[in-house]
Amino acid sequence: MEVKSQIIECVPNFSEGRDKHVIDQITGVIERVKGVKLLNVDPGEATNRTVVTFVGNPEAVVEAAFLAVKKAGQVIDMRNHHGAHPRMGATDVLPLIPVSGITLEECAQYARRLAERIADELQIPCYCYEAAAYRAERKNLAVCRKGEYEALAEKLADPDKAPDFGARLFDEGIAKTGCTAVGARDFLIAVNFNLNTTSTRRANAIAFDVREKGRPEREGDSVVGKIVKNEQGEPVMKSGTLKCTKAIGWYIDEYKIAQVSMNITNINVTPLHVAFDEVCRCAQNRGLRVTGTEIVGLVPKRTLIEAGKYYLKKQNRSTGIPEEDLMNIAIRSMGLGDLHPFNPREKVIEYLLEDDKKRKLVDLTVDEFADETSRESPAPGGGTISAYMGALGAALGIMVANLSSHKPGWDERCGEFSEWADKGQRLMAELLHLVDEDTEAFHAIMNAFGLPKTTPEEKAIRSKAIQDATLYAAQVPLRTMKVSYQVFEVCKAMAEMGNPNSVSDTGVGALAARGAVLGAGLNVKINAKSLTDRETAERLIGEADALITKAKEIETEIWNIVESKI
Distance CA 210, CA 189 (A): 16
Distance CA 60, CA 236 (A): 45
Which of 267, 286, 316 shows the shortest CA–CA distance to 416?
A: 316
Distance CA 292, CA 282 (A): 15
Single-letter residue type at 515: G
Please tell me what DSSP assigns to residue 3: P
Distance CA 522, CA 474 (A): 10
Which of 495, 503, 516 shows the shortest CA–CA distance to 558?
A: 495
CA 372 to chain centre: 32
Q: Which residues contact 259 (CB under 8 A, 6 or more apart)?
A: 192, 193, 194, 195, 203, 249, 250, 251, 252, 294
Which of 247, 255, 232 shows the shortest CA–CA distance to 191?
A: 247
Q: Which residues contact 376 (CB under 8 A, 6 or more apart)?
A: none
Which of 10, 3, 27 shows the shortest CA–CA distance to 110?
A: 10
Annotated catalytic sites, by residue? 85, 438
Taking 3-state DSSP, the helix, strand and coil percentages for the chain, each rounded to the nearest 5, stand at 55, 15, 30
Which of 403, 439, 409, 440 shows the shortest CA–CA distance to 424?
A: 403
